[in-house]
A and B are shown apart, each in its own frame.
Chain A
Amino acid sequence: MIGLKKIGMAVAMAATVLTGGIAHAQNSMSDPARAGYYDNLKGKRVVFVPVFMGLDLTEGWSKMMSRQADKLGYKYEVRNSNFNTAAGAQTITSLITEKPDVIVVQNPDVQSYAKLLAKAEKAGIHVIQLNMKTNVLTTGFVGADVEELGELQAKEVVAHCGSGTSGKVLVLAGPPSSPFSAYMLKGYENILNKSPEVKVVSVQSTGDYESAKAKSITQVVLQQHPDLCGVLGVWDNTDVGTAAAVKEAGKSGQVFVSSSGGGGELACKGIEEGMWQHYVSYDVPGQARDLNNLILAALQDKNPVGTTKTILYTPLVIYNKDNIKNQFCWTLDTIR
């Protein structure tokens, strides 16, 4: 009996609260967090130090970062290091004295900036590393898990170059100490070491991701191994050269090329025109959103710099002939 009474009371109370709530919802009310949020962001400063502007990747990220900065009223600048590691290091050194609130940095290799980035954090600047990672962890990292990327590529090539084929594979890497060489080769090894049927005939660096170099290496290797089965390419812009070599040798369709990149229009064109048969995208628009969120988190963080360290590995997307129609082949104009 008592139980029933209690339920009755609860129902009555709930009804009162509900009607009260409805009555209240008709009045306007301000979000108490809002004003503080916007005021806090005003006048803050974010600086992007890319390896090189003018690439679909860096231009895509930068466009989204600057758009958010404009909307929220903080300052956003780009300091291009123009493929010059020394210049990049100098930029970061001078930024440490300039003290912006956040530095977003794309590392040319796994070591060069490491100490400087730690120093910047010690000086109270949040450092967010973008897609290319050093061996130290800072406030944040947004980008592909390159080892996983390598594994995805290698798995597909292994599946394609199993029994019944020559099993010969060419590996085209980037600059030797770049994360996209070092970590990627680790990913390849994880899979290839378990696949005795696949034989790596050559591992060569394409220098600074030069397509001309990728082309000449592929030509030489195709000459030595006309029955080459697969190529593990490093980046779509570089593999334009790889694809040209395969096409000129008349081996289109025979050589299975796997590439990777930001998943933009070139990625889709490559699949559609048969330049590469498999492509792992690290989805630049998605990365840019992660990046913007991490920037906002850093700008709102009241703790000492370096207390939280967040890694956001980008969900990777596979492009191939079967699913290419469903992909968002972004361009700078269509990026959202």
Chain B
Amino acid sequence: MSGTELNGGGQAEAVAKAGPAGGASFLKGVAFDQQMIVLLLFAAIFLAFSLLLPGFFTVGNLLTLMRTVSVLGILGLGMAVVVIGRGIDLSMIASLAVPSAVVLMLASKDYGIATSLLCGVSLAVAIGVLNGFLVAYAEIPSLFTTLAVGIGIAGIGQSGLFEYEIVPWPAQLAAISWIGQGSLLGIPYSVLAFIAAAIIVGIFMRKTRLGAFIYASGDNPNAARIAGIPVRPILMLQYIIAGLVAMFAGLVLSASSSSMDTRIFNLTWIYDVILVVVLGGIGLSGGRGGVINVIIGTLLIGTIVNGMTIMNVSFEMQNLIKGVVLLAALSIDSIVNPRNEETAQQGDI
């Protein structure tokens, strides 16, 4: 953090941040931050479902639960990288849909797996570069940049690039369809894909210099620049990573449901992704949180949705309950960790 704040009220200690410093007075030694709140909420709901819902606490169901949210979790990882760098990427659903649909389309026209994948990756990188350039060099706020780029990319997808909006998984890609189908030692590949992505992103963010740069420039871009960190290229890198992660999620999703439904850009998926990230405790003001937050957020959403599906709760009611849980988590957080001058001034969206 940049220097000490003159807050006087003594609330500054309650600010949630990585490290042992935080902690509410009644739980000494434990940072009672949003991550903890959501973890406890998750544990409570999970326990309640396990005790009250027959068939919930079985290995099979838990794997199904994980499989249901694995794509959402992968997207959450990409979003987390951008949010930690103090941005947001609303174009992720477009980067999920269009590049992977391009891969499916090219493969179905016999361009070969390698060529098709290469084209898809290039497109995903190009989207990231465009986002990153506009945010880092043209200095357009990421909210507007990625919203516009997302609409644009989805528009390209819808303007006759594909024969139908729902692109089928072609037989030519059978060699790689395992990434979304089937299982290894009982664990579905889509769950393994989430785990693998989490490990890679986790190592990148915590163990590499570039990861540390992202944290630094997200926490305080001016200080990072003065310290000699190339802030603008780092910004671009974030969006490229998000684009690639989204494309990977797209391949897992399309292999899993045997088609890529490019209409999903028009649905509310992006809110679910932001929900997972924010709910897990990654502050939109940047510089905080990590992979573990995404996993907790994902598991909470997965548990709620899975339990409600088992209970056969109606669609409208499911949305209502999801909203109430989110509000509860955020309210508890703002009561336990009140805003102070330091946290409030940092570009909340």
Bound complex: CA of A82 vs CA of B159, how far in Å? 12
> Is A219 a contact of B64 with CB atoms below 8 Å?
yes
- Per-position 1/0 for B108-139, Cβ under 8 A of A: 00000000000000000000000000000000
Partner of B164, one of A55, A82, A215, A248: A55
Number of interface residues of A (CB under 8 A): 38
CB neighbours of B71 from chain A (8 A) = 212
Binary A-proximity of B305-332 (CB < 8 A = 1, otherwise 0): 1100110101110000000000000000
**Contact: B55 with A224, CB < 8 Å?**
yes
In chain B, positions 233-274 with a C-beta closer than 8 Å to chain A are 253, 256-259, 261-264, 266-267
The answer to whether A82 touches B256, judged by C-beta atoms less than 8 angstroms apart, is no
Are the C-beta atoms of A216 and B267 separated by less than 8 Å? no
Contact partner of A237 among B65, B166, B312, CB < 8 A?
A: B166
B93 to chain A, nearest CB (A): 12
In the bound complex, what is the Cα–Cα distance between A121 and B218 (angstroms)? 56
Interface 0/1 of B53-77, CB less than 8 Å to A: 0010010110011011001000000
Is A54's CB under 8 angstroms from B315's CB? no
The answer to whether the Cβ of A184 comes within 8 Å of any Cβ in the partner chain is: no
What B residues does A127 contact at CB under 8 A?
Answer: none
Interface locus among A68-76, A200-208, A277-285: A200-208
Within 8 A of B (CB), among A68-112: 82-84
- CB-based A-B contact count at 8 angstroms: 103
B158 at the interface (CB under 8 A from A): yes
Q: Are B261 and A220 in contact (CB under 8 A)?
A: no
Q: Which listed residue, A175, A176, A210, A248, touches B264 by the CB 8 Å rule?
A: A210
Nearest neighbor of A226 in chain B, beta-carbon distance: B60
* A90 CA to B251 CA, complexed, in Å: 35
Q: Are B259 and A240 in contact (CB under 8 A)?
A: yes
- Contact A211–B68 (Cβ < 8 Å): no
Residue of A nearest to B307 (CB): A220
Chain A residues numbered 186-226 whose CB sits less than 8 Å from any CB in chain B: 201-205, 207-208, 210-212, 214-217, 219-221, 223-224
Is B315 within 8 A of A248, CB to CB?
no
> Which B residues are CB-close (under 8 A) to A145?
none
Query: Which B residues touch A214, using CB under 8 A?
Result: 257
Q: With A204-B309, A210-B267, A220-B306 given, is the CB distance from A244 to B64 under 8 Å?
A: no
Size of chain B's interface in residues, with CB distance under 8 A? 37
Pick from A208, A241, A244, A266: contact of B263, CB under 8 Å? A208
B181 touches A (CB below 8 Å): yes
Q: Is the CB of B64 within 8 A of A220?
A: yes
- The reply to whether B267 and A204 contact each other, CB–CB distance below 8 Å, is no
B315 and A207: CB pair below 8 A?
A: yes
Determine the distance from Cα of A305 to Cα of B13 in the docked complex, in whole angstroms: 72
Taking a contact as CB atoms under 8 Å apart, the answer to whether B267 and A215 are in contact is no
Query: Do the beta carbons of B158 and A212 come within 8 Å of each other?
Result: no
Instruction: Confirm or deny: B182 has a beta carbon within 8 angstroms of a beta carbon on chain A.
Output: yes
Do the beta carbons of A223 and B60 come within 8 Å of each other? yes
One of B181, B306, B309 near A248 (C-beta < 8 A): B181
Q: Which residues of A contact B67 (CB under 8 A)?
A: 216, 219
Whether A52 contacts B315 by the Cβ 8 Å rule is no
Scan B282-321; emit 1 where CB is below 8 A from any A CB, else 0. Answer: 0000000000000000000000011001101011100000
Least CB distance from B270 to A in Å reads: 14
Across-interface contacts of A54 in B (CB, < 8 A): 158, 162, 164-166, 262-263
Give the complex CA separation of A282 and B332 in angstroms: 52
Give the chain A neighbours of B264 by CB distance below 8 A. Answer: 210, 212
Known: A55-B164, A223-B61. A248 touches B158 (CB 8 A): no
Considering the chains assembled together, what is the distance between the CA atoms of A56 and B158 in angstroms? Answer: 13
B182 CB → nearest A CB, Å:
7
Residue in chain B with minimal CB distance to A266? B168
Q: A55-B164, A59-B164, A212-B71 are in contact. Are A220 and B257 (CB under 8 A)?
A: no
Scoring A residues 20 to 59 as 1 if CB is less than 8 Å from chain B, else 0, what string do you get? 0000000000000000000000000000000011111001
Q: A215 to B315, Cβ gap below 8 A?
A: no
> Complex Cα distance A87/B305, Å?
29
Closest B residue by C-beta to A83: B266
Q: Closest 4 interchain pairs by CB? A: A54-B165, A205-B315, A216-B68, A83-B266
29 contacts between A and B (CB under 8 A): A52-B165, A54-B158, A55-B164, A59-B164, A83-B267, A176-B315, A202-B309, A205-B315, A207-B267, A207-B315, A208-B266, A210-B261, A212-B257, A212-B261, A215-B257, A216-B64, A219-B64, A219-B68, A220-B61, A220-B64, A223-B55, A223-B60, A223-B61, A224-B55, A237-B261, A244-B256, A244-B258, A248-B181, A248-B182
